[in-house]
Amino acid sequence: MYTSRIAGMGKYVPENVVTNDDLASIMDTNDAWIQERTGIKERRYIQKGDDNSTATMGVKAAKIALERAGISKDDVDLIVFATLSPDYYFPGCGVQVQELLDIHTCPALDVRNQCSGFIYGLSVADQFIKTGMYKNVLVIGSENHSGGLDFTTRGRSVSVIFGDGAGAAILTRSDKGGHGILSTHLHSEGKHALELSLKGPSTEYWVPQIIEDDPQEDIPYYPYMNGQFVFKNAVVRFSEVIMEGLKTNNLQVSDIDMLIPHQANLRISQFIQKKFELSDDQVYNNIQKYGNTTAASIPIALTEAWEEGKIKEGDTVVLAAFGSGFTWGSAVIKW
């Protein structure tokens, strides 16, 4: 079988910076409260008229990844697009990217695994390359959260967390063993699905019924999160899936050169860092600047860590994510 390696990465975030103080001006919250609980100082939001959407941000990140990989758009064999905030209910963003990049009849698929979406997408791409079906796969994570958040005091516990942005990676075939993506590990536990969810509009509770009911509390089209429950599960699953990846490849925690966790909450990342006794140089966090960008958080962070020279050839890089579903996963990469 072939191996797959990341040949190029790119990221895009909107120019519009929204600070904690900006949010405090429209809801009952404050900078100290947000930073204490999440570590977030600011995030980026799409603005009307700035030519940004989930798909177009993904395209902007993809163009950078393609250039860095040194391949043409016409060399892309498959697009895998991870998001929970597509531009349309259907079709998915993958085909929008195919059209916007002007790629002729390239297959495209969407992954709906929320915070774990990029890891799931990476795993799908890795399998297609390993089996020889495709040579170059474009994997994108992109989110437009600001278009669907409750910016009132009622929604503050969730709305202060999320931001907009996109990240992309080009996976390409390699004949060199012992490097590239060594393994990926995926899990889910559906019994906790509603602990972090957005239930409507859906085919079970569609727009006409929502309008008729006119709910004022527990509004179904705003996200719900059982924060403490999610946190407790996240720290357990993060630890498990990181160790699973290391053991599969006969590695120790001390072999990790860079851990990039999904940027869900800085306190979760710090908990994992302390548990594994990793130094600040071994863990990359940027949630302080961007908030939780869900499927985009890992590719944005991975791109930034590489741009800053914190990931070098030969490094062992571990990616890990946990989120709605519950779903979680990890990837172990020899750079």
Active site residue ranges: 115, 262, 292
Q: Bridge partners of 267?
A: none
Tell me whether residue 87 is exposed, middle or buried, using C-beta atoms within 10 angstroms of its C-beta: 0 to 12, 13 to 18, 19 or more: middle
Give 111's contacts (C-beta < 8 A, 6+ positions apart): 80, 81, 82, 83, 117, 120, 121, 124, 295
SS3 content of the chain, % helix, strand, coil (to 5): 40, 25, 35
Q: Bridge partners of 316?
A: 334
DSSP-derived secondary structure letter, 15: S
The 10 Å Cβ neighbour count of residue 131 is 10
**ω into 151 cis (within 30 of 0):** no
- Is the Cβ–Cβ distance between 141 and 83 less than 8 Å? yes
CA distance 102 to 284: 34
Location of structure tokens 């600047």 = 289
End-to-end alpha carbon distance in the chain: 19
Structure tokens at 16: 């519009």
Q: Strands of 205-326 (E only): list them.
A: 224-225, 258-261, 316-323
Q: What are phi and psi of 2, to 5 degrees?
A: -75, 170
**ω into 201 cis (within 30 of 0):** yes
